[in-house]
Amino acid sequence: MCGIVAAVAKNPALTLEHAPSVERILDAMAYRGPDARGIRQRRNVIMGHRRLSIIDLSDAGRQPMHDVQHGLHIVFNGEIYNYKELRGDLEDRGYRFRTHTDTEAILGAYHVYGSQFLEKLRGMFAFVLHDESAQKVFLCRDRMGKKPLYYYFDSEQLLVCSEIKFLYAFQAVPLSIAWEHVRAFFALQYVPGTATFLNEINKIAPGECLELDLRTWRTASTRYWRVSDHLGSDSSSDIGIRQVDEMIRESVRYRLVADVEIGILLSGGRLS
């Protein structure tokens, strides 16, 4: 578990006001990433990160991470399970890596595959990617929404964080409780859609990428993956036991990739 925060301002002067809030958030979210703390400002974009080291424990894995040659910057929470396969393909296509991290594989995939890069990622993730050359910022979340990503957006600023509560650090932003969503939570045990407990805060949906064009200050949302797209029209399935067994084995193999010790919790559920 890592922690990410980003503040983007339409007017660069507003960035100076955001900086102390980002610093406070990084201090407060130390429990999400005790191994490293990083912050970087590029023009009107501030990105902050708290790191829990899992892959490539060296300082080369610190974030925010940058591809200076291509003007790319990222803060990332999660793990890309197939980053080794991606790395091999990207190297074959001429991309040069500086680290052994899965984070850098995201930057490489974005540069090489373009708009299709999210479809190449297999893992659990939430990240903010800044393409300085194209003047765009991307907020992306994994297919099933395992990693959270919350944001506030208005005519002047975009504020992003791993947890809702940290957005209170931006004191100039008005936040109010959405009581209908609170009632929905008690009835359903979750808040439907992209809504949250706060009227002004939304969350990135599973399998969604939100793109902000810094030149026009307009957003565009793309759902790059949906469960329904991978279900046949027939409710019956032709998948056999052996195929299911292999998929489970493959899934476990992917999740055993780490540069630290791994623990496994086996649970048979709860008896009623």
Q: For residues 119 and 226, give the distance between their C-alpha atoms in angstroms, rounded to a whole number.
A: 11
Query: What is the pLDDT at residue 234?
Result: 54
What residues contact 264, with CB distance under 8 A and at least 6 apart? none
Among 144, 141, 158, 164, which residue's Cα sits nearest to residue 77? 141
Give the pLDDT confidence of 78-104 residue by residue, as tens digits: 999 999 999 999 999 999 999 999 999
- CATH fold group of domain 3-228: Glutamine Phosphoribosylpyrophosphate, subunit 1, domain 1 (3.60.20)
Residue 235 has pLDDT above 60, yes or no: no
Residue with tokens 């500086």: 98
Are 1 and 50 a contacting pair, CB within 8 Å?
no
Query: What is the pLDDT at residue 271?
Result: 59
Q: What is the pLDDT confidence band of residue 238, given thresholds at 50, 70 and 90?
A: low
Residue 243 has pLDDT above 70, yes or no: yes
Query: What is the pLDDT at residue 12?
Result: 87
Give the pLDDT confidence of 139-171 residue by residue, as tens digits: 999 999 999 999 999 999 999 999 999 999 998
- The pLDDT mean for the chain works out to 92
Residue 50 has pLDDT above 90, yes or no: yes
Give the pLDDT confidence of 103-122 residue by residue, as tens digits: 999 999 999 999 899 999 99
Query: What is the pLDDT at residue 237?
Result: 59
Half-sphere exposure of 42 (CA within 13 A, CB side): 21
Cis peptide before 192 (omega within 30 of 0): no
Q: For residues 183 and 189, give the distance between their C-alpha atoms in angstroms, rounded to a whole number.
A: 9
Average confidence (pLDDT) over 205-219: 97
What residues contact 2, with CB distance under 8 A and at least 6 apart? 32, 33, 49, 50, 51, 52, 63, 76, 77, 78, 162
Query: What is the pLDDT at residue 268?
Result: 65
Residue 13 has pLDDT above 80, yes or no: yes
Residue 244 has pLDDT above 90, yes or no: no
Known catalytic residues are: 2
Q: For residues 228 and 12, give the distance between their C-alpha atoms in angstroms, rounded to a whole number.
A: 41
Percent of the chain residues past pLDDT 70, beyond the cut? 95
- Read off the pTM: 0.91
Residue 48 has pLDDT above 60, yes or no: yes
